[in-house]
Amino acid sequence: MLRQVVEGVLAHESEFIESNAVVVQGEAGVLLIDAGITAEEMVAIADDLRTLGQPVVAGFATHPHWDHVLWNARLGEAPRYGTARCAADIRAFLSDEHWKEDIVEELPPEVDVPLELLGLITGLPAEATQIPWDGPKVRIIEHQAHAAGHAALLIEERRVLVAGDMLSDVLIPMLDLSAVDPIEDYLAALQLFEGGAGDVDVFIPGHGSVGGADQLRERIERDRAYVLALRADGVSSDPRIGPSAKPGWEWVSDVHNGQAQRLAERNERGSTG
């Protein structure tokens, strides 16, 4: 199930929207980042880890969207961390009694997603700069872009960046349209990634293919071009949308049209006061 990305870092790509679950090997067990989507795959990851004799000793969710905060009982009861903002956001989401229906609406019926343990995230203190666990140092790079409390993680000694829902080759930048200035937030986050690119040999996006240092710079550029096009007039020739979208990913064009329209509406409201 799990395949090695570099020594000490394993990953599994889900059949559902190419979601990547990431495992970092530590002293007495592993850190599991964004555990996976279907019950079957999370059980398979748990079984792989059992075979390796490496229990999950900590979890981490890169951000408070449902596809990043799932869990399965077979993975055990380790603390599942997120940024303070991530934990607060998912807590608010779970306080709405209709949250399950909201998620089920988004799901294709054939995907078996266990919702029982969704979102049980322990917020780290706002000033935390690394994950508290017995393993290689994992630096938390929090930024405002795709979701409240979004965090990328840098496994420094492995030179691996876990990017959360940034830098995907299949998904366009999806802005946090609840933010005051989603465009500038996103550009600032890309700049943050660019500034740290020299410390990275391999990066793992939340969805899509793992890449090396060269691809990291390409994807930062592509995402920046997309966001700048959104800021300019909403017209983008990004290869992830339109006729060049990957088969099965045509819906990303709808995401693009939706956010371009909402931004245009915001600008309209802004300019008319």
Residues making contact with Zn ion (CB under 5 A): 67, 165, 206
**Element spanning 3, H or E:** strand 3-6
- Least distance (Å) between residue 245 CB and Zn ion: 17
In the bound state with Zn ion, the residue whose beta carbon lies nearer, of 63 and 222, is 63
Residue closer to Zn ion by CB (options 165, 223) is 165
Q: 206 or 211: whose CB is closer to Zn ion?
A: 206
Question: Which is nearer to Zn ion, 173 or 206 (by Cβ)?
Answer: 206
Handedness of CA 177, 84, 35, 113 (dihedral sign): negative
Residue 207 or 222: the one with the smaller Cβ distance to Zn ion is: 207
Minimum CB separation of residue 229 from Zn ion in Å reads 22
Helix axes 251-272, 213-232, angle to 10 degrees: 50
CB 165, min distance to Zn ion, A: 4
Burial readout 69-85 (b: 16 or more C-beta within 10 A, e: otherwise): bbbbeebbebbbbbbbb
Closest separation in Å from C-beta 190 to Zn ion: 17
Write down the least CB distance from residue 255 to Zn ion, Å: 12
In whole angstroms, the minimum distance from the beta carbon of 21 to Zn ion comes to 12
* Beta strand extents in 14-150 (DSSP E only): 20-25, 30-33, 56-60, 80-82, 122-123, 138-142
The residue written with tokens 């059980």 in the block is: 43
State the first-to-last Cα distance of the chain, in angstroms, to the nearest integer.
54
**What secondary structure does DSSP assign to 193-227, as a single string?**
HHHHGGG-SEEEESBS--EEHHHHHHHHHHHHHHH
Query: Which is closer to Zn ion, CB of 67 or CB of 142?
Result: 67
